Amino acid sequence: MTLQELLVEEIKDLYHAEKQLIKALPKMAKAATHEDLREAFESHLEETREQVTRLEEVFAALDEKVKAKTCEGMAGIIEEGNQLMQEDAEASVMDAGLIAAAQRVEHYEIGSYGTCVAWARLLGLTEVANLLDQTLEEEKAADEKLSAIAESEINQAAANEGREENEDEEEETERGGSSSGRTMSRASGNGRGNRRQSSTTNRPRAKAADRRKR
Ligand code: FE
Ligand code: ZN
Ligand code: FE
């Protein structure tokens, strides 16, 4: 196998990876609560569609038929994301997890496109290298945008979520387990915190789980 043949195999792998993402990103957008995050997923979906078209141009430039080869790596990353989305988590915690999943996707792509650009340049395939490099830059930008969104608000909100939960439980114990009339500081913003009207007492943990049911 020559390096150019290996390059073609990697392109087929990327083609399948991007195709899988076109299916996964709408689900991630739906699972996201924070507006900026949802928008980031939606705009990266549009970008991903263009990246698929760009890969078709790469196949043409290589005089190869457009063909996908199962990308197990991306399948695994997406599967982990699906598992996350089935978890019962407060909105900001889920958002933080979605960002982590999405960044693993971007890093996988960056690794793969980065290699393909370098090989294409070495092989003198300038057009191929330029096309792949455009996508590489988009993936890097998507990754940085996700970091910025995480750092601007979501990670901190997710960290506070745990803290508030603990404070509540302490409060509850002090007051002998009365759960009526509690106010919820965390209800603001995400619309999912407002489920605390539990009638049972003295079982803060069970109630904490209860509250999260949707
Ligand atoms: Fe991509
Ligand atoms: Zn792969
Ligand atoms: Fe991407």
Please, are residues 66 and 11 in contact by the beta-carbon 8 Å criterion?
A: no
Nearest to 98 by CA among 47, 17, 42: 42
What's the CA-to-centroid distance between 124 and ligand 1, angstroms? 24
**Span from the CA of 28 to the centroid of ligand 2 (angstroms):** 20
Mean pLDDT of 45-61: 98
Judgement on whether residues 135 and 165 belong to the same structural domain of the protein: no
Residues 84 and 13 in one domain: yes
On whether both 207 and 173 belong to a single domain, the answer is yes
Give the residue, 195 or 65, on which the prediction is more confident: 65
Same-domain status, 55 and 91: yes
Distance 14 CA to ligand 1 centre (A): 8
Q: Are residue 163 and residue 69 in the same domain, yes or no?
A: no
In this structure, the answer to whether residues 11 and 92 fall within a common structural domain is yes
Is residue 100 domain-shared with residue 199, that is, in the same domain?
Answer: no
pLDDT band at 28 (very low <50, low <70, confident <90, very high): very high
- Number of Cβ within 10 Å of residue 34's Cβ equals 23
Given the structure tokens 């960290």, which residue do they identify? 159
- At 75-130, the pLDDT tens digits run 999 999 999 999 999 999 999 999 999 999 999 999 999 999 999 999 999 999 99
Range of the domain at 165: 159-212
Indicate if 15 and 115 belong to the same structural domain.
Answer: yes
Give me ligand 2 centre to Cα 71, in Å: 4
Q: How far is the CA of 21 from the centre of ligand 1 (A)?
A: 7
Looking at residue 166, its pLDDT comes to: 60
